[in-house]
Every structure is written in C-alpha cells, then in structure tokens.
Amino acid sequence: MEKKLNDLIDKALSRRKFMAGAGTAAAATLIIGCNNSSPAPTTTPAPTTTPTPTTTPTPTAAPLTDADYLTFALNLEYLEAEFYLYATTGSGLSSADAGSGAGTTIVPSTGTKITFADSYLQQYADEIAQDELNHVRFLRSALSAAGATVQPRPAIDLTFFAGLGTAAGISGTFNPFTDENAFLTGAFVFEDVGVTAYLGAAPLITNKASYLGPAAGILGTEAYHAAEIRTLIAGNAAASGATAAQTAALANANLIAALRGKISAATDTMISGETMLSTSQIVNCDSTNAIAFARVPNQVLHIVYGGTAGAGVAKGGFFPAGLNGNIKTTTT
C-alpha cells in the first residue's frame, strides 16, 4: 500500500476547478379516463418510421454554498478533535458532538492516551483538544442556525499516520500516540493544514457579513496552534540537551511538510511547497511578503485522502469512507 501511495503522489496535474452538483429532471403522466358506456378503444397503429430521439440536457452543476464550505471545515475539525481528544483522554467525541449516524473512528490497538513527561506539554495538548472540540460545536451550531443539514462525523482512521509516515520517508512505523515528541509531529500534520485550508476557503464565502468573521477567528486560533506546535518542536531540538526523539521530531516534521507541499503542487500550482521548520525559522509563510500559504479544498482533499493523484478521489487516508457533505471528491 505504501509503495502505491508513494507512486501516486508523484503524478503531477496542472489545473484545478470545482465540479459538484446535480441535475434535475421532470416527467409528466397523461391520464385518460373512460366510463362504462364508452366504446372499447381502438388500437393505435405502430408508427412506420422511427421517431427522432430527444436529447437530454446536460445537468447544470449546482453552485457550492456557504453551508457546503462550513461542512467541509466541520469534517476537518472532527478529525482534529478526534486526534487531540484521543491523545489527551483516550476517548474521542461524545455521541452528542459526533452527531447521529456518526462513522467509527479507528485507533491504534496499542492505545492512544499519551503519558506526557512534561506537565506543560500536557496542558498545551489539553487546551488544543478543548479548542478543537469547541470548533466542532460552533460549526455544528452555525449550520443548524442557518437551517442547513448538520453532517455527523465521518469515519476516521487515526492509524493512517503509519502510511503517511512511510510516504514522507519517516523511519520505522510512525505512531503519534507513542510519546509526546511523536505527538508533536502528529499535531504538526494537522495544524498547518488547518491554517492553509481556512485561508484558501475564505475568498469562497459569499455571505461575508455572517460567516467571514467567525471563519477568520477560527483561522487565527488554528494559526496560534500551528505556531505553538512549531515552536515546541524547534525549541526542543535546539536545546543543549536535546534527546534523539526531540531531534527526530523536527526532522520528521520537515519530511511531512515536504510531502504536503509535493501533494499540493501535484494538484495545483497555487502552492509549490512549504517553508521548512528550523531552530531559527518558525513561521510558515512566503519569503517575499510574509503571507501565510493557502490551499483550496481540492488540495486539502488530496492531503487528507493520502495523496492519491487525479480527479475523482472520494475517500482514503484519514477518511476511509470519504468526507460528508458536497465537498468530498477531488476535481483535478
């Protein structure tokens, strides 16, 4: 499986666009009534020529709505919340927060709750877990208030970190639930993607007055999380007494960053790579204007589905049955 994943992420494609929607068709039934006094109907002769077939119009793609983008964001928040909650508590979202009909979350058989050697790291992890849970609750509430369908948590596979690690070139079997340093690398996988996903989706929101402000607020929180994780990884590696595990966390984070950039570049030229994390460079932004990178939903889908190239990818990676909602299939 890992070889196939590595092969697929190397296939570069050059364009992007969204294609989502459904067409509608109408039909009418002609009803002819008769009474008991009416003569028996005569048989209509069969036509002597073949009628010209009618052409069925091509369905028009339905435009994506703000609710679709919020639902897309909710899927990602479900994933983040599950990761942090399992790492800090050993359990995932409650049934109320996951929603009716929620998919199953697959976790490593070795367990998920991490024993943090440093109490401050435990506090940071607990805080982020609560933030991500609050994001889930906020988006579910916002969708409900807008009268939109609130999609439940899709099926999530937290064991996919192993496949992602292999594709990135991480030595051994990558499991972010083994210790606090591996946890930081696992958190790094999600936080930078969260920042770029919200930034990429922001211009697509039409109701700026109602939704852009809250979306920007979540983006800001995700950026705080990303900076926190990136600083901890770099700071630990820079310490004079840095352990092999702390040094490896930095190296592995950069392998993950390189893989994300490769997948994004393979599906769209909007982002060609990422700024590598180092003990002297923390912020992930372009070198010219110091602006954070952005990813459109199609690029994010390729990342969370595991890097499978091409259009029509609707599941895989962290989402074995795909995302819920209308934004769930890659378009390039």
Task: List pLDDT tens digits, range 180-205.
Answer: 999 999 999 999 999 999 999 999 99
Give helix then strand counts, H and E, for the chain. Answer: 9, 2
pLDDT at 19 over 50: no
Least confident of 12-21, 91-100, 137-146, 267-276: 12-21
Q: Is 44 exposed, middle or buried (0-12, 13-18, 19+ CB in 10 A)?
A: exposed
pLDDT at 36 over 70: no
pLDDT at 54: 53
Return the closest-CA partner of residue 20 out of 58, 62, 57. 62
Contact present, 276 and 254 (Cβ < 8 Å): yes
Return the closest-CA partner of residue 296 out of 257, 274, 267, 255. 267
CA distances from 176 to 50, 137, 165, 187 (A): 67, 25, 10, 8
Tokens of 74: 């909710």
Indicate the angle between helix axes 180-201 and 119-145, nearest 10 degrees: 30
- How far is 313 from 39, CA to CA, in rounded Å? 61
pLDDT at 274: 75
Angle 154-68-145 (CA atoms, 0-180°, nearest 5)? 90
pLDDT at 65 over 80: yes
User: Which run of H or E residues covers position 224?
Assistant: helix 213-238
Query: For tokens 């969370």, what's the residue?
Result: 304
- Residue by residue, DSSP assigns 67-79 as HHHHHHHHHHHHH
* pLDDT, average across residues 83-103: 98
pLDDT at 153 over 90: yes
Least confident of 13-27, 97-111, 213-227, 237-251: 13-27
- How far is 328 from 19, CA to CA, in rounded Å? 11
Tokens of 221: 């929180």
Amino acid in position 16: R
Write down the H helix ranges in the chain: 2-9, 66-89, 95-98, 119-145, 161-168, 180-201, 213-238, 244-267, 297-304
* pLDDT, average across residues 42-62: 54
Give the pTM.
Answer: 0.81
Tokens of 114: 């991490």
Mean pLDDT of the chain: 84
Confidence of residue 28 (pLDDT cuts 50, 70, 90): very low
- How far is 23 from 20, CA to CA, in rounded Å? 10
Contact present, 210 and 143 (Cβ < 8 Å): no
Q: Which residues pair with 105 in a beta bridge?
A: 156
* pLDDT, average across residues 173-186: 97
Confidence of residue 261 (pLDDT cuts 50, 70, 90): confident
